[in-house]
């Protein structure tokens, strides 16, 4: 009995630990800014490493979209749907933003070129099919 418990613990606990890895700090700080009602601060945090002229245009487009998000009504919070590693240094983080009018689907792409994570992609849409693949939302694969 004790050997069985030890084997189950040895097999299950590492899987749980891997599933519960914390998200990059910049991702969490941005989500906390959204929760505090500061959309523009969230987008500034997520785009701090965007340095090219094209990046500046993308950042401005995101900042402008805060007006659209504000029209969704009260922001009630967010749900992390899933974090998908794309190798050891890239994460795709799927989030549902819970607004009063309707959910907003958010995809953040985080990249760690050396030791520090940065967000390299911020995408949102009110249509889940635009950002979330069907198998991501299937019952068999749901969860962080």
Give 46-100 as a DSSP string: HTTT--SHHHHHHHHHHHHHHHHHHTT--EEEEEEEEEEESSTTEEEEEEEEEES
CA 34 to chain centre: 12
- Res 134: pLDDT: 80
- Res 18: pLDDT: 42
- Cβ pair 93, 108 in contact under 8 A: yes
> Is 10 a residue whose pLDDT tops 80?
no
What is the mean pLDDT of the segment spanning 38-65?
A: 95
Per DSSP, the three-state class of 126 is coil
What are the pLDDT digits (tens) for 93-116? 999 999 999 999 999 999 999 999
Q: What is the H or E stretch that residue 121 is in? A: strand 118-125
The yes or no reply on domain 2-137 and CATH 3.90.1200.10 is no
- Looking at the chain, the number of H-run helices and the number of E-run strands are 6, 4
């Amino acid at each position: 009995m004790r050997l069985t418990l030890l084997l189950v613990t040895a097999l299950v606990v590492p899987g749980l630990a891997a599933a519960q890895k914390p998200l990059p700090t910049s991702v969490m700080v941005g989500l906390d800014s959204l929760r505090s009602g500061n959309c523009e601060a969230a987008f500034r945090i997520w785009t701090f490493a965007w340095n090219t002229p094209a990046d500046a245009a993308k950042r401005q487009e995101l900042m402008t979209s805060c007006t659209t998000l504000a029209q969704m009504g009260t922001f009630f919070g967010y749900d992390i749907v899933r974090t998908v590693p794309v190798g050891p240094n890239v994460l795709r983080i799927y989030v549902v933003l819970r607004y009063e009018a309707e959910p907003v689907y958010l995809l953040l792409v985080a990249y760690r070129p050396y030791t520090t994570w940065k967000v390299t992609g911020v995408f949102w849409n009110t249509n889940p099919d635009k950002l979330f693949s069907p198998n991501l939302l299937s019952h068999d694969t749901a969860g962080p």
